[in-house]
Chains A and B, each alone.
Chain A
Amino acid sequence: MNALVPPLLNGTAQGALLLLAALGLSLTFGQMGVINMAHGEFLMIGAFTAYLVQQVIDSSDLSIPVALPVAFVVAGLLGLLLEVSIIRWMYRRPLDTLLVTIGVSLILQQAALQTFPAQGVPVKQPGWLDGQLTILGYSWPLRQSFTIVLAAACVAILSAWLKYTSFGRRIRATVQNRDLAETAGISTRTVDRLTFFVGSGLAGVAGVAASLIGGTNSQMGAQYIIPAFLVVAAGGIGQLKGTVIAAWAVGVALSCFAYWTTGSLAQVLALILVIVFLQVRPQGLFTVRTRSLA
């Protein structure tokens, strides 16, 4: 078995999960400048939604496909609630949104700890994900390919939505020049709300994927937030393709380091790698061309 195959394949899957977690952030951070530190907790809400859906629909073959849209809507609505109640007052103070949402994340974590069994809840994997694919002599868990397919589908739908629908055009217009978009008659308030809904909803979808990989408990969201932000930053603000490439690169780096060194060292090396990359190229992989001075 080639020593490159397992880390490359698993790294791609790990990158896909990171991408799912980062997609929503890329929208809300890149397009609105809001730094939502509670994004990880929306992911947790998505995972708990998957569990709750499984309590209603017994067959796990069916419940996970059902849970995906439900988690999207539940997390999206909570995101909308956050936007309407708190975030909208702070659009001119991006760093402060970061702090406010830290508060929100602390509250959501504690609420989840007290609502659900402290040890976490089981989310059953659908039967059609049992088994492995044999690739170049390596039995690759089928579940890993599911994460990749899911991430690819989300990216495809999101980019098509941004490109071809009128809402998507409005979002892009608002990103490129908020004032001009407003002058052209676009309600940036509506656009903001919708963006936040979609961004948070994507975290919910990521949560369903994460519930199949690790534990579903009150602490699960915290491990994704920092890597997801680094991915968004490394990819470049508001750049979908940048986010995709950065997530893949971080995932593969994590997995390769973990394969060749140790699990702990891999986390450290991957973080350092991104930090160094951002020193060299602080604007990320891709940038929106603007005439801004700074």
Chain B
Amino acid sequence: MTKLKPRLSLIGIGVFAVLLLVVAPLVLTDHWLSNLGKYCCWAIAAVGIGLAWGRGGMLVMGQGVFFALGAYSMAMHLTLETAGAGVPGFMVLYDPLAPLPAFWEPFRSAAFTLLAIVLLPVIVAGLLGYALFKRRVKGAYFAILSQALAVALATLISSTIRETGGDTGLSDFKYFFGFVLEDPANRVMVYLIAAALLVVCLLVVWQLYRSRFGELLVATRDAEERVRFLGYDPATVKLVAFVLAALMASIGGAMFVPIVGIITPAEIGAAASILMIAGVAFGGRASLFGPALGAMAVGWGQSSLGSAWPEGWTYIVGLLFIVVILFLPKGLSSLLPRFTAARRSPGEQPAAGTAAPELEAVQS
């Protein structure tokens, strides 16, 4: 691989950062800036999906779980900040005299909340990934299991109304770490944090993809057995990618809360996770920019096309899945090299015919 390509990518990230952090706040209205912030949150999670699925071959259909860990950690803190010293209003009805549930108490602290947003997904994904990858669960099993987990968590949250707000979720936040959320200047600040975090995530995966780890990850995806025979442990490689993806989903979720102003179990369940996957597939799962841009494009489509033609948008998402996966398995990003005639990067999927069978019987 030439040295040119990574440099080009870095310049690309730079341009992207300027567009997001400087141009967008200047030209967009408040409404569209807040929408763009929401797409950035999805894009952060999507970068993680690109890492785990595009490069690592793990179809993570349950990123909603980690999105929720971040989002609910943040939302609990903001709810408590809004409620002041008392108990949040929605809890009062079911049991007026009961104290705040114990697991809410630490979220009064801003430092604990920030720590939880980072550590919770790392711990949960670490344990889950360790158990799954050591047992060599992969392919469709992994995908279905991760989605089942997301469904289980969404149902659990829906049914614990007093503790989590249930199906209605948590909303109506007034403050964000002491800043008044209604103030337009603060909303721009929240947007800038989300956009900056997206750029940071892109930088992290850019660095990962050109590192030895990135090569190992792709090798694990394409021929796990050979990697094992070469003396590496594929489980560890996958675990690192999975944990990083979980962390990114959590950060995306945490920023989603102050930007959108509500988090509900609907953002965790199957449908939300699937829409994120759609974006990643659309943009190009294994490319650097593909997942982020794809997720943002799907978000934008939902905002604009979904308004103009709601029924049509559902059909478009459906067709997007079919057409892109069928004809452009590498997503829109695969169209670019055809024009620039750039060299194939090692991150791209091998040709369909030679792909290692992803669905292998797991051995005890």
The residues of A with any CB-CB pair to B shorter than 8 Å are 29, 33, 35, 86, 89-90, 92-96, 98-100, 102-107, 109-110, 114, 222, 226, 229-230, 233, 237, 262, 264-265, 267-268, 271-272, 274-275, 278-279, 281-283, 287-288, 290, 292-294
B362 near A: Cβ within 8 Å?
A: yes
B87 near A: Cβ within 8 Å?
A: no
B211 near A: Cβ within 8 Å?
A: no
Main secondary structure of the interface of B (DSSP, over half): helix
Is the CB–CB distance between A294 and B321 below 8 Å?
no
B115 near A: Cβ within 8 Å?
A: no
Is the CB–CB distance between B361 and A86 below 8 Å?
no
Q: Which residues of B contact A233 (CB under 8 A)?
A: 141, 144-145
B74 to chain A, nearest CB (A): 23
Contacting residue for A100 out of B59, B148, B225, B325, CB 8 A: B325
| Bound: A241/B144 CA distance, A | 21
| Bound: A278/B140 CA distance, A | 13
B76 to chain A, nearest CB (A): 20
Contacting residue for A279 out of B132, B155, B329, CB 8 A: B132
Contacting residue for B147 out of A110, A226, A293, CB 8 A: A226
Given A268-B152, A279-B132, 16 new contacts (CB under 8 A): A89-B326, A92-B353, A93-B355, A94-B359, A95-B143, A96-B329, A99-B321, A106-B315, A106-B318, A267-B155, A275-B145, A275-B148, A278-B141, A287-B361, A287-B364, A292-B363
Q: Which residues of B contact A100 (CB under 8 A)?
A: 321-322, 325-326
Q: Can you identify 30 A-B contacts, CB atoms within 8 angstroms?
A: A29-B140, A33-B140, A93-B352, A94-B357, A94-B358, A95-B59, A96-B329, A99-B281, A102-B321, A103-B322, A104-B321, A106-B315, A107-B319, A110-B315, A114-B311, A226-B270, A229-B148, A233-B141, A233-B144, A264-B156, A264-B159, A267-B155, A268-B155, A268-B156, A275-B149, A279-B131, A290-B361, A294-B360, A294-B362, A294-B363
Is the CB–CB distance between B135 and A275 below 8 Å?
no
Is the CB–CB distance between A107 and B315 below 8 Å?
yes
| Bound: A93/B354 CA distance, A | 10
Is the CB–CB distance between B139 and A264 below 8 Å?
no
Q: Across the interface, name the chain A residue whose C-beta is closest to B144.
A: A229
Chain B positions 178 through 204: 1 when the CB is less than 8 Å from some CB of chain A, otherwise 0: 000000000000000000000000000
The residues of B with any CB-CB pair to A shorter than 8 Å are 59, 131-132, 135-137, 139-141, 143-145, 147-149, 151-152, 155-156, 158-159, 224-225, 270, 274, 277, 281, 311, 314-315, 317-322, 325-326, 329, 352-353, 355, 357-364
Q: Which residues of B contact A272 (CB under 8 A)?
A: 152
| Bound: A71/B94 CA distance, A | 46
| Bound: A271/B159 CA distance, A | 15
Q: Which residues of A contact B321 (CB under 8 A)?
A: 99-100, 102-104, 106
